[in-house]
Structure 1
């Protein structure tokens, strides 16, 4: 039986970018892979198929407390599918829901956590969820924020942006690597080389650079336009929208910026956003 390596983030913070880089680094294809190929590379922690297997029956419509109780077994089933470690995408809080762990540490090998300036997350999230900017700013502060409860995805809890980031980063742990979206964008070679080293990999420079190039935002956006992407929200025309840091300076009003900084200033300061 293998173990799970979590690729964790609050929604719209760079999780797909990290997954794409790792997919291209490990597969080393001669050309960029369509975004939907990520499904073959990485599990999603809310994939209902594993909850159905854990329950021995269909779980759609099941109360959230029962889903929470099934989650540790569902994650153990994910680990059991591989002889070695397997990557799992998650937007879950690192904590408990209905008294049950959202992350099963007994089958965990490690985690990479990506965070992004919440002022930019507000813009990207509003686009993805079909919310107004003010509505997304409210969601960033909502301790009950959750996703899932669809035919494909089980209900899971994110909580607020600050709580989510703090839950994953409050303790220094040798099996945890914390990344900032902005460093992935502005210092890609150094940042992604750190990712490779964390995973015990020493790729040649040209292979590392090829994975960085093939997973770039422009390439991903072009591939989505050509092939589509199953993770695109029904509220949005595309999954890959802009991919640029600092958009909040033009898109948010002073009052909206002040609200985000008031809600999340302590954590923002910790990671250099204030």
Structure 2
């Protein structure tokens, strides 16, 4: 039985990109990972399949406290996939729901937390959730009560605001939680993806790192999605892999929208160097 390594982030902050890189690195094959086979190698904590065997009734008929009590049972079940540590995607904030930890410490080895500038997150969130305009996305990432409802395939998820999510994972430094800036991954992938591999104890040569990065490039991921679709793409989203750029907000957001986002998230943005000059 392995332990869980959480790949955590606020939605649209690079979680899936990191997951694909690590799986390409661990597989060490001459062809890229099939993006639609990720779930069997690196599951999502939101997948209902991990929790349903322990429910006394269909999940739709359970109360929230009853569903919450299934979380540690499902997390333990994920550890049984393989004897090695299991990479698990999560968008939940770091904390409790209905008195139950959203990430079970007893079966966890640690976490990689990816943080991304909320000025760019707002743009990606708009497309990801099919929102009508950017002002709705800006309000969304400032809302402490946002998350995802339970569906036929997914458990409920709890995000909080961008600031609340970032604070929950990073305000108490821990050697078990390593923080990576999305912007650093974009600017110097060889350096920062290699750092993550070292943190996780993955033995890899420079050539293996370079190949995993190449196999995880956004143009390759977009091509795969265009040719065969992507099972993790939300129904309202035109595409999952949209571009992955850093700093796109400069050409998209108005000065008023930038001011609003900075006002909503100034404390956490300052911690990670995200406040633009003049704001």
Same fold (TM over 0.5): yes
Q: Which moved more, 1:117-126 or 1:249-258?
A: 249-258
Equivalent in the alignment of 1:70: 70
Judged with a 3 Å threshold, the aligned counterparts in structure 2 of structure 1 residues 148 and 28 are, in CA distance, closer, same or farther, namely: farther
Give the CA deviation at 1:256. Answer: 1.2
CA distance in 1, matches of 2:257, 2:63: 35
Equivalent in the alignment of 2:192: 191
Equivalent in the alignment of 1:247: 248
Does structure 2 conserve the Cα–Cα contact (< 8 Å) formed by 1:112 and 1:177?
Answer: yes
SS of equivalent to 1:83: coil
Give the CA deviation at 1:198. Answer: 0.2
Equivalent in the alignment of 1:15: 15
Q: Which runs of 5+ in 2 are unaligned?
A: none
CA distance in 1, matches of 2:265, 2:62: 34
Query: CA-to-partner distance for each residue in 1:115-136, whole Å, 9 max, x for gaps?
Result: 1000100000010111121111
Give the CA deviation at 1:171. Answer: 1.9
Judged with a 3 Å threshold, the aligned counterparts in structure 2 of structure 1 residues 169 and 74 are, in CA distance, closer, same or farther, namely: same
Q: Which moved more, 1:114-123 or 1:34-43?
A: 34-43
Equivalent in the alignment of 2:238: 237
CA distance in 1, matches of 2:206, 2:154: 38
Q: Which runs of 5+ in 1 are unaligned?
A: none
Give the CA deviation at 1:56. Answer: 4.5
Give the CA deviation at 1:172. Answer: 1.9
CA distance in 1, matches of 2:61, 2:115: 32
Structural RMSD (CA): 1.2
Equivalent in the alignment of 2:138: 137
CA distance in 2, matches of 1:61, 1:219: 42
CA distance in 1, matches of 2:143, 2:61: 23
Judged with a 3 Å threshold, the aligned counterparts in structure 2 of structure 1 residues 139 and 215 are, in CA distance, closer, same or farther, namely: same
CA distance in 1, matches of 2:268, 2:54: 36
Indicate yes or no: 2:100 matched with 1:100.
yes
TM-score (ref. length: structure 2): 0.95
Indicate yes or no: 2:192 matched with 1:181.
no
Give runs of aligned pairs for residues 117-132 of structure 1, distance below 5 A. Answer: 117-131=117-131, 132=133
Equivalent in the alignment of 1:225: 226
Does structure 2 conserve the Cα–Cα contact (< 8 Å) formed by 1:54 and 1:77?
Answer: no
Give the CA deviation at 1:204. Answer: 1.2
CA distance in 2, matches of 1:46, 1:130: 20
CA distance in 2, matches of 1:238, 1:61: 33
Does structure 2 conserve the Cα–Cα contact (< 8 Å) formed by 1:46 and 1:148?
Answer: no
Equivalent in the alignment of 1:260: 261
CA distance in 1, matches of 2:97, 2:259: 31
Does structure 2 conserve the Cα–Cα contact (< 8 Å) formed by 1:111 and 1:175?
Answer: yes
Give runs of aligned pairs for residues 47-66 of structure 1, distance below 5 A. Answer: 47-66=47-66
CA distance in 2, matches of 1:61, 1:156: 18
